[in-house]
Amino acid sequence: MAPRIYKSPLPDKPIVQRSIFTHQFSNFSKYPSEFPAYIDAQTGVTLNRGHIKDFALSFGYSLRNEKLAKRGDTVMMYSPNSICWPVVVFGAVAAGLRCTFANPASTADELAYQYKDSQAFLICTTRANLNTVQQMLTSKAVGVASKEDAERRIILLPDDFDWVLGTKKTDGEKPISKFTRLEDLLNLGRLKQEEQFQGVDAEQETVFLCYSSGTTGKPKGVETTHQNLTTVLDIVVSGFPPLSPTDDRMLAILPFYHIYGLVKLLLFPFLCGVSTIVLPNFDPVKFCESIQRYKITVTLIVPPVLVVMARHECVHQYDMSSLRIMFSGAAPLGGDLVRAVRSRLRPTNLPPLHIVQGYGLTETSPTTHLLPLLPAREWGDMTEESKYGSIGFLLPNLEARLVADDKDGHAKTDDEVVDAPEGERGEIWIRGRSVMKGYLNNSAANANAFYPHLSIPPSNPIPGSRWFKTGDIGVVDKDGFFWVVDRKKELIKYKGFQVPPAELESILLTHPKVADVGVIGVESTRESTELPRAYIVPADPSIQTLELVREVQEWVKTKVAKHKFLRGGASGKILRRHLKEQALKELAG
Ligand code: 4UW
């Protein structure tokens, strides 16, 4: 039977063959170079479009000409959000390098895993993260030869870009550093934009390596190519409500190291000529204060931010009237929460505040679906309210299927892949040019993640020709809108961050008092997130379980970044209740 393939209601965009750097700067002359590009929300220090181009090409020049890195090398960025990010990322890309991005809260062990796996050499980091970096580089796992060798790999990012711009108001001396500093690499020369991109194979060349566990196992390097990014940016532009450089400003609280923040907040606004106001993390007061101060119109968030907006008193202490759109993604968003935030933030005398969703994965670069602003577009008699909770329609250049059965991933022929009947649920499969090239050096994970195009030899896959299995269960309604209704894969999402159960389990198994363990996510409607919870079999059965739970919970905190802490109830009471529910379910089944 022919597969049931869903397409976008929007027309396809032409596929381009150019580097992501050329693409990012393709609209450069359309907007004045004095126009603010990235603004530090707390200090107001601003990099305009001209600065970004100038600094990126200068950093790229130094990387190449100071022999810090050669074409194809991987640079790691390990820093909270700051206005240094575009300089580092665009500069590294201009020099023909790959970038990998680490969670700024990563521990030395987590960092070592990614540093080695991505084969990174240079690491750009902040003064605050230096200790962890040095610990990582000199650890057994990485084992650099000497302290000097470790120091040679570090590029220190400025705490304060005022020094770099020469606009620092005090006459104090610049702090002395034994490390190469970003600012020292910004005045040695400048690449000519064109010369860097000869020989870029946009279809095949990997430029970003974000880390995702996919459907199972430990985090893996996701090979995102230039063409994945140029395609996703172009299709997002056509699905996103129109933005105006003069009227719109976007607030970046989502981390740039995660694909959602990276593409939608670091790359996308610059391409559209819109200013991005950068905060290092989410803090309710700073969030509201920044919306008032910079008259933010668009913000991209995760559902737990909306929970805060629905409850925190600070929303009434600041003027939030500039907000036009809040885009939520990375985890499910319920209609009740949308209603609660809308009525709280938006008195009826103001233009509407749209709270809509996007959907995607690290592996799809990321956006595949967006909910349009209704009824701003011509969508018959649909109202915005009727689509609360939907992830919207498929973006152009992509195809989707909802697969009811693929023999648990072992389907070998097209006949063995059964699509869900109309209106029924199935696993979302996606195909198109923005789907990743694959997981880095991991043929087993790639074999699980893709269903091949059977008429094309797997040794030479045409980009976008294979079906990527998302591990999410969805349905499509009569209007062609998609709804994510369940997750088939193991992944746990804590406030939009990935928590791979296999990673936590392998760490927990190294604890001497733990004989066996299983990690799951438990739903918290109050916080609108899942919470990671471990079930432990003690090595010594006579041990006090509650004490062990507490001990293990504290111990995990020394091993992993904050979002992976075990939060899903440590008390015996909660555990017992849950186990009882579990037992009842088993008996009923
Ligand atoms: N509803 C339910 C959703 C949703 C969702 C994601 O960490 P990753 O790999 O990637 C992300 C990407 C988020 C994102 C992408 C594009 C976009 O426009 C946007 O929105 C505004 C957000 O989180 O995790 C991927 C997994 O996260 C879940 C889902 O399980 C998916 O496989 N997920 N978005 N709207 N679940």
pLDDT digits (tens, 9 = 90+) for 267-295: 999 999 999 999 999 999 999 999 999 99
- Tell me the average pLDDT across 511-527: 91
- pLDDT tens, residue by residue, 343-373: 899 877 778 899 999 999 999 999 999 999 8
Confidence of residue 532 (pLDDT cuts 50, 70, 90): very high
Q: What is the pLDDT of residues 372-414, one digit of tens each?
A: 988 777 777 788 889 999 999 999 999 999 999 999 999 989 9
The pLDDT value recorded for residue 173 is 65
Q: Are the C-beta atoms of 411 and 447 separated by less than 8 Å?
A: no
Looking at residue 107, its pLDDT comes to 97
- Report the separation in Å between the CA atom of 362 and the middle of ligand 1, taken as the mean of its atom positions: 8
What confidence score (pLDDT) does residue 222 get? 98
Residue 578: pLDDT band with limits 50, 70, 90: low
Note the pLDDT of residue 36. 98
**Ligand 1 near 434 CB (within 6 A):** no
Tokens 């296999």 correspond to: 502
Map residue 184 onto helix, strand or coil. helix
Band the pLDDT of 574: cuts 50, 70, 90.
very low
pLDDT at 573 over 50: no
**What is the rounded average pLDDT of the residues 25-44?**
96
pLDDT grade, residue 95 (50/70/90)?
very high
> Which of the four pLDDT bands, split at 50, 70 and 90, describes residue 165?
confident
What's the CA-to-centroid distance between 102 and ligand 1, angstroms? 18
Kindly state if the Cβ of 470 falls inside 6 Å of ligand 1.
Answer: yes
Nearest residue by C-alpha to atom 23 in ligand 1: 330
Q: In 3-state terms, what secondary structure has residue 147?
A: helix
Give the mean pLDDT of 199-204: 89
Mutation test of ligand 1: which of 361, 425, 439 has the most ligand atoms closer than 8 Å to its C-beta?
A: 361
> Please, which pLDDT band fits residue 170 given cuts at 50, 70 and 90?
low
Question: Of ligand 1's atoms, which has the minimum distance to the CA of residue 362?
Answer: 9
Ligand 1 pocket test: pick from 260, 301, 364 the residue with the most ligand atoms within 8 Å of its Cβ: 260
Give me the pLDDT at residue 326, please.
Answer: 97
**By alpha-carbon position, which residue is closest to atom 6 of ligand 1?**
330
What mean pLDDT do residues 114-133 have?
Answer: 97
- Please work out whether the CB of residue 442 comes within 6 Å of at least one atom of ligand 1: no
234 Cα–ligand 1 center, Å? 19
564 lines ligand 1 (CB under 6 A): no
Query: Given pLDDT bands bounded at 50, 70 and 90, which one contains residue 463?
Result: confident
pLDDT tens digit sequence for 429-438: 999 999 999 9
Beta-carbon neighbour count of residue 239 at 10 Å? 22
What is the number of the ligand 1 atom nearest to the C-alpha of 471? 32
Helix ranges restricted to H, 36-77: 49-65
d(CA 50, CA 249): 18
CB distance 325 to ligand 1 below 6 Å: no
**Residue 358 Cβ < 6 Å to ligand 1:** yes
pLDDT at position 571 = 42
Ligand 1 pocket, residue 521 CB under 6 Å: no
pLDDT at 569: 62
Cα–Cα distance for residue pair 537/540, rounded to 1 Å: 9
Q: Has residue 425 got a pLDDT over 60?
A: yes
Q: From CA 75, how far away is CA 99, in angstroms rounded?
A: 5
Tell which atom from ligand 1 comes closest to the C-alpha of 328.
Answer: 21
For the ranges 101-115, 185-199, 459-473, 478-492, the lowest mean pLDDT is seen at 185-199
Taking all residues of the chain, what is their mean pLDDT, rounded to a whole number? 92
Do you know the residue count of the chain?
Answer: 589
Smallest CA-to-CA distance from 356 within 479, 376, 348 is with 376
Q: How far is the CA of 366 from the centre of ligand 1 (A)?
A: 8
Alpha-carbon distance of 82 to 96, in angstroms, equals 23
**Chain CA centroid to CA 25, Å:** 22
Q: How far apart are CA 452 and CA 412, in angstroms?
A: 9
AA identity, residue 325: I
pLDDT per residue as tens digits for the range 293-325: 999 999 999 999 999 999 999 999 999 999 999
256-263 average pLDDT score: 98
Confidence of residue 175 (pLDDT cuts 50, 70, 90): low
